[in-house]
A and B are shown apart, each in its own frame.
Chain A
């Protein structure tokens, strides 16, 4: 990937949570680039995937601290922007689908009103145009009976419906970069395919950059172009997604081996055995 097609470049990113007695480092000095591509981030629970995504948007909650040499979007350093300028970046240039969809929705406002509001904030549309657009978005993420969902409240949605509504809302402002944190973890495979192909189309047709955070190794391997594998706040390996199954790092191999498989049933699944040396090894620099 040549440099001028880079949308985002992250250099030496740290996320720390200081307490009075010690400092917990959730992300420990990672660097990577994102072009107009689908970049997967995988890794075990607690390895810092979500924190990486949130740090790019500077959305780390208060005691947490983000430091980086540079997080540049088109050569503009996000670390140097004021909070007010950052608000313009969020949503308009970079959108993020959070891991906890229902918490990101307002519990006392109907789904329809929230989508309409999001849309009208972005495009100066009349109410009825926005209404039509909202229904169209809901249909696009294969929601049955969009009229009813439009009038419903978030708690009346199933887990997967909440996730799809969030995705629909994040795509409305037509962002240049979408950070999707476990966006399809609650979706059945067929709806998942439809949602993924929406994102896929945006990447291929509009040149959007996608950071796709997921646990699902098979999915990432099939859907993404490149993968970063994280462990304990560092990147331990990067590879082309379709080569994920040939990955060499014992951690990646361990993750792959612990997957259940439909074709070959097993009594027990392999469990990952962690080696303290992985934690200390320096972060791999993503130079592809």
Chain B
């Protein structure tokens, strides 16, 4: 009976504890700052919209077998290129008469997979190479940055093509190829930031505590580079999805009949004039997901920078 007000009271207590300006222990402080970060993110409407889009993407990907109305691979040539709102095919059908909605839903799995892998590999590799080059300087810098320049000099798709050609077609290889072509800009950003950081007194100060190079890079330089990288990665997401699509289009990424969004766009391009929705629907999906990443990334940057954070 009176459990409701009680939990409400203790929830308020918990909140007061979390928001305390004088935390009593390290764990208290960490939880408190996480909570304040969350409140800050929550107060940013657009970031919450981005978060919502991405959570929806994850949920759809997980529930794909349950929620999709039809088999994404089932062809029905008699039923091809049906427009939006057709009975039983809410988003219409493609050139082989497959249900677009179902393909879109299953495609979210692949998109998520590609995006997650690339987002894990490329920025981390770039961060590592860039901060190493910037911090070590000298010949290490020269060698690492020359390698980066070589990667940068090739157009992304051409390089990815070469990799895929060498590794064999398929989604995993496409992901690796895209990651390999995506890291150099991150390395450049990270290096530029490191160059301004490494001469600062606070880095000298940890050196005087006997900290080694790796520790300085990971614990002291990375936290300062990460926020600009996160923003950059979220801005690049659309490009990454499209690069995966491009590979798919050339027959080197996701293999047909896989419902990868990019591949769907390039398939639909053939009919763009008469049957615009076949390309537009997956295109809109890509756009929405990229937007979600962008909005969230922007909100995260504000949270990650304690200088602007609202806590005292």
State yes or no: do A and B touch (Cβ within 8 Å).
yes
Binding site for B on A (CB under 8 A): 17, 19-22, 24, 61-63, 107-108, 155
Give min CB distance, A15 to chain B, whole Å: 14
Instruction: Let me know if B24 is at the binding interface, CB within 8 A.
Output: no
What are some 27 contacts across the A-B interface (CB < 8 A)? A17-B312, A19-B19, A19-B21, A19-B310, A19-B311, A19-B312, A20-B36, A20-B39, A20-B310, A21-B16, A21-B19, A21-B20, A21-B21, A22-B21, A24-B312, A61-B307, A61-B308, A62-B308, A62-B310, A63-B310, A63-B312, A107-B196, A108-B192, A108-B195, A108-B196, A155-B199, A155-B200
Contacts of B36 in A (CB 8 A): 20
Contacts of B192 in A (CB 8 A): 108
Give min CB distance, B270 to chain A, whole Å: 49
In this complex, which of B20, B21, B307 has the most chain A Cβ atoms within 10 angstroms of its Cβ? B21
Give min CB distance, B205 to chain A, whole Å: 14
What interface size band does chain B fall in? 10 to 19
Contacts of B312 in A (CB 8 A): 17, 19, 24, 63
B 96-124 contacts with A by CB, 8 A: none
User: In whole angstroms, what is the CA distance A108 to B200 when docked?
Assistant: 13
User: In whole angstroms, what is the CA distance A24 to B312 when docked?
Assistant: 8
Give min CB distance, B307 to chain A, whole Å: 7
In this complex, which of A20, A22, A61 has the most chain B Cβ atoms within 10 angstroms of its Cβ? A20
**Complex A-B, nearest 3 residue pairs according to Cβ-Cβ distance, in ascending order:** A155-B199, A19-B312, A107-B196
Give min CB distance, B13 to chain A, whole Å: 13
User: In whole angstroms, what is the CA distance A20 to B311 when docked?
Assistant: 8
In this complex, which of B20, B39, B196, B312 has the most chain A Cβ atoms within 10 angstroms of its Cβ? B312
Contacts of B196 in A (CB 8 A): 107-108
Asked whether A20 lies within 8 Å of B307 as measured between CB atoms, the reply is no
User: In whole angstroms, what is the CA distance A107 to B199 when docked?
Assistant: 10
Contacts of A62 in B (CB 8 A): 308, 310
B 241-292 contacts with A by CB, 8 A: none
Contacts of A21 in B (CB 8 A): 16, 19-21
Contacts of A17 in B (CB 8 A): 312
B 292-312 contacts with A by CB, 8 A: 307-308, 310-312
B 191-213 contacts with A by CB, 8 A: 192, 195-196, 199-200
User: In whole angstroms, what is the CA distance A107 to B195 when docked?
Assistant: 10
Give min CB distance, B103 to chain A, whole Å: 45
B 164-220 contacts with A by CB, 8 A: 192, 195-196, 199-200
Contacts of A20 in B (CB 8 A): 19, 36, 39, 310-311
Give min CB distance, B168 to chain A, whole Å: 44
User: In whole angstroms, what is the CA distance A107 to B192 when docked?
Assistant: 11
User: In whole angstroms, what is the CA distance A24 to B310 when docked?
Assistant: 13
User: In whole angstroms, what is the CA distance A21 to B16 when docked?
Assistant: 8
Q: Can you name the residue of chain B whose Cβ is closest to the Cβ of A62?
A: B308
Q: Can you name the residue of chain A whose Cβ is closest to the Cβ of B18?
A: A20
Q: Can you name the residue of chain A whose Cβ is closest to the Cβ of B197?
A: A107
Contacts of A22 in B (CB 8 A): 21
- Beyond the given pairs A20-B311, A22-B21, A107-B196, 4 more chain A to chain B contacts, judged by CB atoms under 8 angstroms and listed by A's residue number, are A19-B310, A21-B16, A61-B308, A63-B312
Give min CB distance, B33 to chain A, whole Å: 13
Q: Mark B15-33, 1 if CB is under 8 A from A, else 0.
A: 0100111000000000000
User: In whole angstroms, what is the CA distance A21 to B311 when docked?
Assistant: 10
User: In whole angstroms, what is the CA distance A22 to B21 when docked?
Assistant: 9
Contacts of A19 in B (CB 8 A): 19, 21, 310-312
User: In whole angstroms, what is the CA distance A19 to B20 when docked?
Assistant: 10
User: In whole angstroms, what is the CA distance A21 to B36 when docked?
Assistant: 12
User: In whole angstroms, what is the CA distance A20 to B200 when docked?
Assistant: 33
Contacts of A63 in B (CB 8 A): 310, 312
Contacts of B200 in A (CB 8 A): 155
Contacts of B16 in A (CB 8 A): 21
Q: Can you name the residue of chain B whose Cβ is closest to the Cβ of A156?
A: B199
Give min CB distance, B266 to chain A, whole Å: 42
Contacts of B19 in A (CB 8 A): 19-21
User: In whole angstroms, what is the CA distance A226 to B213 when docked?
Assistant: 52
User: In whole angstroms, what is the CA distance A107 to B312 when docked?
Assistant: 27
User: In whole angstroms, what is the CA distance A198 to B199 when docked?
Assistant: 32
Give min CB distance, A110 to chain B, whole Å: 14
User: In whole angstroms, what is the CA distance A17 to B199 when docked?
Assistant: 32
Q: Can you name the residue of chain B whose Cβ is closest to the Cβ of A17?
A: B312
Contacts of B308 in A (CB 8 A): 61-62
Contacts of A107 in B (CB 8 A): 196
Contacts of A108 in B (CB 8 A): 192, 195-196
User: In whole angstroms, what is the CA distance A107 to B196 when docked?
Assistant: 6
Q: Can you name the residue of chain A whose Cβ is closest to the Cβ of B16?
A: A21
User: In whole angstroms, what is the CA distance A180 to B283 when docked?
Assistant: 56
User: In whole angstroms, what is the CA distance A17 to B20 when docked?
Assistant: 15
User: In whole angstroms, what is the CA distance A273 to B87 when docked?
Assistant: 84
Q: Can you name the residue of chain B whose Cβ is closest to the Cβ of A20?
A: B19
User: In whole angstroms, what is the CA distance A107 to B203 when docked?
Assistant: 15
Q: Can you name the residue of chain B whose Cβ is closest to the Cβ of A21?
A: B19
User: In whole angstroms, what is the CA distance A93 to B196 when docked?
Assistant: 32
User: In whole angstroms, what is the CA distance A20 to B20 when docked?
Assistant: 9
User: In whole angstroms, what is the CA distance A287 to B27 when docked?
Assistant: 51
User: In whole angstroms, what is the CA distance A155 to B310 when docked?
Assistant: 30
User: In whole angstroms, what is the CA distance A21 to B39 when docked?
Assistant: 13
Contacts of B307 in A (CB 8 A): 61
Contacts of B310 in A (CB 8 A): 19-20, 62-63
User: In whole angstroms, what is the CA distance A102 to B145 when docked?
Assistant: 29
